[in-house]
Amino acid sequence: MSGHPTRQEDFELYALGVLEGEERAALESHAASCAECTERLGEAQGRIALLALGAPRVDVPAGAKERLLQRVRGEGAAAAAPAVFAPPPRATTWAKEDAPRARAGILGGWWNAVLVPVTLGLLIVCVLLWRQNDIVEKVIDEQRKEVAHLQKQLEYQRRVADVMEGPNVLNVALRPMPGMPKGDATVHYNAGKGKLVYDGWIEPAPSDKSYQLWVVPKDGSPISVGVFNPVTEDRASWIASLPEGVQAKAFAITLEPAGGEDQPTGPQILVGNGS
């Protein structure tokens, strides 16, 4: 071999380990100083590696290597010869015995030309499918979270509807007292079920204080419904339980020490009459 290699089979033969002698040395010497041929050689070795991973192990017949080299050199010489009439090949014993191998060689070359692009294509498709599957999994996960959130909201609305059922439900608006923190709230109270729904907003309390909601019964002392500490002015909603049958004449929110008190001690912030 001299000059710039132009036969693709030289790279394939080198990758297979069957290129020997001066031809092998010439290719190695040239590839050492030629980036293009170095890249082509690497590609050939990669193709052979892929084929080797997918192909079953087959014992190579004795003398196959020499016959392969003779065939490659003969085909190369035939390709370089001018197109003239040539005598028909003589049927020799070797030709008869190796005809199946020759056909296998031709089919093998065709199969390599098809298999390598297909294998690379499948690898690309696998990577794309993996990425697509990862995206789909993330979307499904977000949808699961959204469904869980909607289910919680639906369950809460069902509980609110249960409180609102009945002929004697009180719906009382709570209004801010003069000079007190701003806010607006409504309570829905079902004495028969001992349930109350709070829905409203109020300015955040100081860090050492808490808001506390009270039911003021027609008879007896105020009953604590719940202690809450809003950190924003966003509207909030929650359900509380009370003793069943308590008849309310008023509802009030007071400002108490952090954590609340057993009885009201602080100023009234929001107040509403129940009857």
| Residue 91 pLDDT | 46
| Residue 84 pLDDT | 44
| Residue 72 pLDDT | 55
Q: Does domain 170-273 have CATH number 3.40.50?
A: no
This prediction's pTM: 0.50
Of residues 267, 273, 77, 118, the one with CA closest to residue 187: 273
| Residue 63 pLDDT | 64
Alpha-carbon span 92 to 242, nearest angstrom: 108
Asked whether 14 and 29 are in contact (CB, 8 A), the reply is: no
Asked whether 269 and 185 are in contact (CB, 8 A), the reply is: no
Alpha-carbon span 76 to 29, nearest angstrom: 22
| Residue 1 pLDDT | 45
Long-range contacts of 65-69 (CB under 8 A, 24+ apart): 65/18, 67/98, 67/101, 68/18, 68/105, 69/13, 69/18, 69/20
Alpha-carbon span 44 to 174, nearest angstrom: 83
Q: Which amino acid is at 115?
A: L
Work out the mean pLDDT of the chain and round it to a whole number.
78
Of residues 153, 148, 271, 135, the one with CA closest to residue 214: 271
Domain boundaries, given as residue ranges, for the chain: 8-124, 170-273
| Residue 100 pLDDT | 53
Residues 59-90: tens digit of each pLDDT: 555 665 566 566 656 655 555 445 444 455 55
| Residue 191 pLDDT | 93
Q: What are the backbone dihedrals phi and psi of residue 189, each rounded to the nearest 5 degrees, phi first?
A: -120, 125
Residues 125-177: tens digit of each pLDDT: 665 666 667 777 888 888 889 999 999 999 999 999 999 888 889 999 999 99
Residues 8-54: tens digit of each pLDDT: 677 777 777 767 788 888 888 888 888 888 888 888 777 666 655 55
| Residue 2 pLDDT | 47
